[in-house]
C-alpha cells in the first residue's frame, strides 16, 4: 500500500527476501536513525543506511553466523543446559523458591561466555 510519495507499507511475507535481501537496491528508511549511534559520525550494522558500508560490515561478521558455525556452538549450549538443570534439581529438592527469569538471564550470560571465551 502506498503511504506517501516514495513511501510504501508492505505486509506480504513473500516479499521479504526481495525487499530486505542483500543487493536489492532498496535503502533503509529514516526510521533506522532512531537505532543509530549517538555520534552521527559513527554507525551500527543495524542502523547503517549506506548500502556499500553496510555490505562491507556484514561480510566481516557473516562467517560468525553461518549454520556450520552455529552448530559448532551446540556443545557449549548443551553444557550450560546441563548445569542449569542440575541447579534447578538441587533447588527443587531443597524446596527453595526461585526467580526463573533471573536464572534464565544467568544461563544466557553463561552461554555467551562459553561461546566467546571458552
User: 84-99: per-residue pLDDT in tens?
Assistant: 999 999 999 999 999 9
- For residues 11 and 58, membership in a common domain is answered with yes
- For the chain, what is the domain count? 2
Determine if the pTM surpasses 0.85: no
Percent of all residues in the chain with a pLDDT value above 90, rounded to a whole number: 40
- For residues 9 and 25, membership in a common domain is answered with yes
- For residues 106 and 82, membership in a common domain is answered with yes
- For residues 59 and 72, membership in a common domain is answered with no
- For residues 73 and 108, membership in a common domain is answered with yes
- For residues 72 and 102, membership in a common domain is answered with yes
- For residues 59 and 79, membership in a common domain is answered with no
How far apart CA 17 and CA 6 sit, in angstroms, is: 20
Note down the domain range covering 78: 68-117
Mean pLDDT for all residues in the chain: 89
* Cβ partners under 8 Å of residue 115, min gap 6: 73, 76, 77
- For residues 13 and 55, membership in a common domain is answered with yes
- For residues 52 and 82, membership in a common domain is answered with no
* Per-residue pLDDT, 19: 79
- Per the structure block, which three cell numbers stand in for 38? 549517538
Amino acid at each position: 500500500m502506498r503511504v506517501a510519495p516514495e513511501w510504501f507499507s508492505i505486509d506480504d511475507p513473500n516479499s521479504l527476501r526481495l525487499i530486505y535481501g542483500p543487493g536489492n537496491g532498496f535503502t533503509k528508511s529514516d526510521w533506522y536513525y532512531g537505532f543509530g549511534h549517538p555520534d552521527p559520525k559513527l554507525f551500527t550494522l543495524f542502523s547503517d543506511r549506506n548500502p556499500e558500508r553496510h555490505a562491507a560490515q556484514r561480510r566481516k561478521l557473516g562467517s560468525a553466523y553461518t549454520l556450520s558455525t552455529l552448530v559448532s556452538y551446540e556443545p557449549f549450549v548443551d553444557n550450560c543446559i546441563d548445569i542449569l538443570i542440575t541447579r534447578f534439581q538441587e533447588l527443587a529438592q531443597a524446596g527453595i523458591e526461585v526467580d526463573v527469569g533471573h536464572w534464565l538471564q544467568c544461563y544466557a550470560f553463561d552461554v555467551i561466555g562459553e561461546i566467546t571465551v571458552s
